[in-house]
Structure 1
Amino acid sequence: MSTVAPESDVRRHELAEFLRSRRERITPEQVGLVRGRRRRTPGLRREEVAQLSAVGVTWYTWLEQAREIRVSPQVLDALARALLLDASERAHLFALAASTDPAQHTACPTLTPALRAMLDQLDPIPSCVQNSRYDILAHNVTYGRLLCDLDRLPPEDRNCLWLAFTDPQWRAAVVNLPDSNRTMAAKFRAAMAEHLAEPAWKALLARLEAASEEFREVWARHEVVGQGGKAKYILNPLVGLLYVEHTNLWLEPASGARLVSYVPLDEETRERLVRLGELAARGAGADAVPVP
């Protein structure tokens, strides 16, 4: 009778083999070390990796031996730097260790030219790329006029949570604003649990608390809600009432970047989105005369 190894055992052995393979491919010269005449080890020695990443030699040896030890994100970060891992290898390292990369959301590696082209192809369906902090990283033409005129805003203000609590145009477009904002704040709190020590998250929270009494009241409830799509109404100043379904397509793990789209749920909305896309492409602002 055969048995299947627990997932944790498989992960440890995969992690050990991955670390060993990365260590053996690096020459001492690549990391500023002097190659001795009697070196037999291909690549770096274990003690050299330990020295470069500021961990104990015994501890690192146990890691390569697939011992059952805990590895912090900070140590994984140090190992990734010591082993000169590229972005894909770094992501693989953290995945094998079942750990969250503390530097994962400092940038959005998925925001490629191909993804930007996809956003354009989705027009007139309003679509954007957001991270889990609600920063709008990219958007298509129609989304740029869906809830407010995004082009008039500085990059630091292009955040859905900030706009929902502070921007008059955005707030006027959201039907049932109190419930919508309460849900958004609850999703933000749930996502922030993985990022409590990160400066960008703390800065956004402090900014919201300083700017909005409504946010402070909602935040004090300590409510949490998971991410998910739903049908909603949007009152657009250019084309009128829209009935859409908010959908998420995850580009990274659920705490990472996502493609957000507002798909029309009736023919009237579909026609109005086509009209909105045309107006947005011509640069019409929120003060244009709405279409009946």
Structure 2
Amino acid sequence: MNTDLREFLRSRRARVTPEEVGLPNLPGTRRVPGLRREEVAQLAGVSVDYYVRLERGKNVNVSESVLDALARALLLNETERTYLYTVAKPTRRTRPMPPQRVRQGLRLALESMSDIPVMLLGRRMDVLATNLLARALYKDFDAAPPHERNIARYMFLDPAAREVYVDWADGARNAVAGLQFYAGQHPHDPELAKLVGELSVRDADFRRWWADHDVFRHGHGTKRLHHPVVGELTVFYESLIPRDDPDMMIAMHTVEPGSPSEQSMRLLASWAASAMGSNVDAEQSVDGVSELRGS
């Protein structure tokens, strides 16, 4: 049984209102929100029995034209459409995935970008490598135990993350949806199952949002952050995929030239160089940043 397809179709059907797809919605005629199964079948041009079997996760040989029709009927965005295609026709992995390794050249490239925070993320949003400014902006993942080097674990299990992210709920939901998208591509990843299990047990927000089956693919956007040393920053993020490993992502953070965020980023770089790049006492470094702010 294809449980990923079943849960995704159910969650998307419940999200679409009849008015959005041009269907009547008479008062008192619906016991649950969203579309009925027969309405989705009608909109997609398939039989009700076929759609019911599909939504129940039965092993139905579904064509791309039917998936296209379902995507239109359920008003899926591009990321959701990609996820639907993936979970409807899952690939069977016969060998375990080898561990991801960071080439020395790629690691040096990250460190050479000293003016902006850069992170290299891998499967399950694991943090594979960071440069100094990224470690200063978020957390020194390099110093954390290997099993803690993960963005989702940081977002939900590290109390500091809720202070750093001004819009924590938005960022945390995107992290959950990003894991959900990854799960569609790698449904048999045992490490993902362990991560989702742990976060579900330890955090009610994660457990609730995972059940929503939203999907998200990190590409670009903005974040509002509050750093304990330099204060507020608004950063742009851009995600790049190395050609030889599509399960890796380079996340770069930039700021608007001439903005207060640019000044804060420069102060962060100065603080990081002293407090994290040497044995200078961090408290003295904070005082130094305060003096820079006053100059």
Is the CA contact (8 Å cut-off) linking 1:105 and 1:256 kept in structure 2? no
Kindly state the Cα deviation for residue 112 of structure 1 after the two structures are TM-superposed: 1.1
Matches within 5 A, 1:52-131: 106-109=98-101, 111-131=102-122
Is the CA contact (8 Å cut-off) linking 1:245 and 1:263 kept in structure 2? yes
Aligned partner of 2:275 among 280, 283, 287: 283
Is the CA contact (8 Å cut-off) linking 1:132 and 1:255 kept in structure 2? no
Is residue 194 of structure 1 aligned with residue 215 of structure 2? Answer: no
Query: Residue 236 and residue 103 in structure 1: after superposition, are their counterparts in 2 closer, same or farther (change >3 A)?
Result: farther
Residues 152-181 of structure 1 deviation map (CA, whole Å, 9 limit, x = unaligned): 522211111111011111221001111111
Determine the structure 1 residue equivalent to 2:235: 244
Is the CA contact (8 Å cut-off) linking 2:142 and 2:149 kept in structure 1? no
Determine the structure 1 residue equivalent to 2:84: none
Residues 192-251 of structure 1 deviation map (CA, whole Å, 9 limit, x = unaligned): 112221111111111111221111111111111233210111111111111111111101
* Number of corresponding residues: 194
Q: CA–CA distance in 1 between the matches of 2:187 and 2:117? A: 31
| Identical amino acids, percent of aligned pairs | 24
Is residue 178 of structure 1 aligned with residue 169 of structure 2? Answer: yes
Determine the structure 2 residue equivalent to 1:233: 224
What are the ranges of 5 or more consecutive residues in structure 1 without an aligned counterpart?
Answer: 1-98
Residues 95-124 of structure 1 deviation map (CA, whole Å, 9 limit, x = unaligned): xxxx78766853224x21111111111112
Is residue 161 of structure 1 aligned with residue 152 of structure 2? Answer: yes
Q: CA–CA distance in 1 between the matches of 2:92 and 2:246? A: 10
Q: CA–CA distance in 2 between the matches of 1:257 and 1:104? A: 17
Q: CA–CA distance in 2 between the matches of 1:208 and 1:105? A: 22
Kindly state the Cα deviation for residue 270 of structure 1 after the two structures are TM-superposed: 2.3
Q: CA–CA distance in 1 between the matches of 2:236 and 2:92? A: 30
Is residue 142 of structure 1 aligned with residue 133 of structure 2? Answer: yes
TM-score, normalised via structure 2 length: 0.59
Determine the structure 2 residue equivalent to 1:216: 207
Determine the structure 2 residue equivalent to 1:13: none
Query: Residue 265 and residue 212 in structure 1: after superposition, are their counterparts in 2 closer, same or farther (change >3 A)?
Result: same
Q: CA–CA distance in 1 between the matches of 2:95 and 2:263? A: 42
TM-score, normalised via structure 1 length: 0.60
The residue identity in structure 1 corresponding to 2:214 is E
Query: Residue 248 and residue 254 in structure 1: after superposition, are their counterparts in 2 closer, same or farther (change >3 A)?
Result: farther
What are the ranges of 5 or more consecutive residues in structure 2 without an aligned counterpart?
Answer: 1-90
Q: Which shifted more, 278-287 or 185-194?
A: 278-287
Is the CA contact (8 Å cut-off) linking 2:161 and 2:168 kept in structure 1? no
Matches within 5 A, 1:254-273: 255-267=246-258, 268-273=260-265
Larger radius of gyration: 1
SS at match of 1:142: helix
Residues 238-278 of structure 1 deviation map (CA, whole Å, 9 limit, x = unaligned): 11111111111101478510111111124232232222122
Is the CA contact (8 Å cut-off) linking 2:120 and 2:127 kept in structure 1? yes
Q: Runs (4+) of structure 1 moved beyond 6 Å? A: 99-102
Kindly state the Cα deviation for residue 187 of structure 1 after the two structures are TM-superposed: 1.5
Is the CA contact (8 Å cut-off) linking 2:275 and 2:282 kept in structure 1? no
